[in-house]
Structure 1
Amino acid sequence: MTPHDVIPLHLADVTYPDSHPLAGKDGPVLAFAIRHPDGTILVDTGIGEGNAWVDENYRPRVRDAREALAAAKLDPDAVRAIVNSHLHFDHCGQNRAFAGLPIYVQRAELDLAREGYTVVEWVDFPGARYDAIDGDREVVEGVSILATPGHTPGHQSVTVRTGDGLVLIVGQAAQDARSFATGPADASVQRLRELNADRIHFSHDRAVLRRKK
């Protein structure tokens, strides 16, 4: 694998509500496809459709995850697993499009989600197959999950070891490159900084989409 085998997918744009620190601003919602010899691994699935609260408060402009994969010249049916960085509505909303596949999530996150802190119907649905983990795990050779609690109690990030260096998918442990590099660091962000990754991706940083392929 190379760093270019981690492919950002632009799955939505939202307008942040008054209650959000970024009130009134538009922001992207990104997922990441890891093109691996054993099959594609999809990190996060964006926003689903049909939830009145999400529609009213965030006004999402949603792109179908399977269509986004196809546009990136990836076969949606070649996805072998989902990794959810966490279970907020904008990270797990299209999990059901991949029903039957293993979905890797921290046990603490799944337990909290089932208490109703997110859109429950986007978490539990016919064919949902969660693999709840505690801490770190290598999913396939070269692709590992790291527990990075903070943004949520069960947040996790992903590393991809390639022939050209380490790629880090932060998720939302940090909002963007600036806050990751210079903002106050909790234990999880400090852990990620110390990896000295060669390429770093964030779930809500539009700059990720402007990078050269």
Structure 2
Amino acid sequence: MVVAGGFGVGKTTAVGAISEIPAIRTESWMTAATAQIDRLDPGIDKTTTTVAMDFGRITIDNSLVLYLFGTPGQPRFWQMWDDLSRGAVGALVLVDTNHLDLSFPAVNYFEQDTDLPWVVCVNLFHGHLSHDLADVRDALSLPAHVPLISADIRESRHVAQALLAVVDHARAQTAPGGRLGRPGAQTTTGGRPGHPVAPFAIAGG
């Protein structure tokens, strides 16, 4: 299972919150040399950044064990996305409604460059939903078949529910007659999330 999204959206936190083993992190300190690249809003307590991937594991039940791969968020590491997505059963795309512009590359990647089933999850950084999900869907121009949910990914139970939503969606998409189960459908990977579209404003946001 791939956990994807823009820089600082909570991918490392999500994998660490749910993993039943100590999560493997490939993080590097953010220094003054990267201040213009890894820019954050003042007050955000983030001092490291993922440079390759995060890895964790969670047992859903006796028949289902998920291996979680968190993607790096910065454009200079996007070449990892193809490798992490290859062979995955689905993807959980995290978004931050305060920085929707950072979400467009990830949404664009899974919409255009891969046939992986994917679910978009609004990360509730402050424990509440600041924008109506319908407005978020419109702002991101999400296709109708892509589920949109919200969760506080600091809590393991919420991460578990989000991952189960991806599993359920993947099963539905790959079932006979599903979007990926249609005759002649092929699963492909390729490309990088390097083609962001122009951001949209959230009504009332």
Give the TM-score of the pair, scaled to structure 2: 0.34
Richer in strand (by share): 1
